[in-house]
Structure 1
């Protein structure tokens, strides 16, 4: 090999190798210090991109879990308000049943009335329960209700499906075909409640009326004439239209006796209905009463409203949501208070008896909403579990891509450290080799 002094190639080669070893050592040191084998796109461009997407996904899933849990907290507040309403309605029904008992005087009923009035005020307090400044049960967060609102529809499916409006009342049979035992000389006492006012009428004798005339509006005992437009009765399998405008049909698809309010919305709702068949001797036809009073509220009266339902974002993409609308739980919407502020009257035995039906329908409204809230709570619980599993799985995948094997990286670090020291030693040796040229110049 020629002896030169201008270019020390051995030293340059060794220096280049030292630089490579130094960079490799720096990378190993960074991986060991950070615990990640990919610290920048330079380390692994595609792996870094995939890992960053997964990190964003995990952060989004974490926020979804928080959203679902916060939503469940709101629903717990709503459930508490509804449960309090259910408890109050249960107590009120007990009091009204007491008021309907003639062991009480009208003075006693007045005392019970005062208790009822205060309890009705508490129903409005329950409806105004708040979560994070949002009033939950006052109807301000309900689902959309089309114009002009919905009509109360009470359905009785216990009568024979072949009944027609031209049949005699005495020919009425139950759904199994058995006669109700309504005698020609019997009478029917019929009452319903609208706007807190109880309308009562008596059809006597029943032989003078057909089924279509069974619930015609005649003058009641107070001299008031109920309007025929307040309530209508038909036999049909089409109950009416719900809040979305969709036709609602009877459960079994057969014709049923339908009591429908004549006016849409809360102000026109029929909040209670009672039918009492009384024999000529004054005894009650319990068989007929059991069948005729076996109705349910198929469509609830609601005012026209835009869609104000609450939305819980529980997914990482747009519109991955759970929505719930809270029906109005105020006393007016439950039929216990009129628009003028007056409450349901139980001043007489007959009015107290009619009020029992009002409280049953109000209880049904509260329990339906409680069921809806409970179902969404359950769904959010499952959602939290699913989101947690998804977050854990994503985290595991991201870990495989990006997390460093510390044992492996420590081995690499030690190797690169030794190589760097060796290169430094060899560079010193290469530099010393050039000095041997000086011996030729002496």
Structure 2
């Protein structure tokens, strides 16, 4: 038997493959610009570079986060600058109104402008947002739409009207020539009614009231269409008093007339022997992952349509909840 072979050619082919492998690695380094492209190039060096790369990427993201923070501060600064300008204008108007040559109509015009400026200050404070998050409302925690939450043995002042506002006909909220003030804990909150007309709706009226109240109280409609105002403060010093012209106040208390006692409500003082009660209000369904704490219990919201709950807190499923009232009903059940 005879075996044909060519040792020289086989050796040349082997060396050619080795050189091709070296050339491929060199080309890879040239094209990537990196000395180490895989662990086989330098295992220890690869570990060091990956650690450094992770640190670099983390620092880059931290830099981007800081820029987002700068943008948030700039947004807040712009809003505060506008509010500052309005407050300066209000002070100028107050000084102007002290002029003895002013007539009552002149002072009324000044008061109308002050009311409008007050409404705009409240609107900016309540509506300034960054990435859908309010940044000038100090009572809103992150990742939650909870407006008020506190455990107390006392109770907030809560005024409940007796007029079904949903039954008010067209033009019923045209109060452009009327005045309305809501005193909360001794501080006057002027509701700006100068812009109302026959097209003003119940939602528009409620928005005007809440803009005036700001963070001191919250106005909502109960199931019977009656307005319900609750203060943020809790205790015996918490008080609500409604004052104004007859047409405006009658939206809160039926049959009220000038000269009668103003509609009012006072909170319940705290007591060392009473059971603690919790008060919380939502302006919309809470976000997934947000929490509130009531006593020693932490409540966490999740959406079962996205993922099952895996935490250790008391879970509240927001899936299928039509509104915030449904969420509250499940919390207190």
Give the TM bin, normalised by the shorter chain: 0.3 to 0.5
TM-score, scaled to structure 2: 0.40
Instruction: Name the structure, 1 or 2, with higher relative contact order (CA <8 Å, separation 6+).
Output: 1
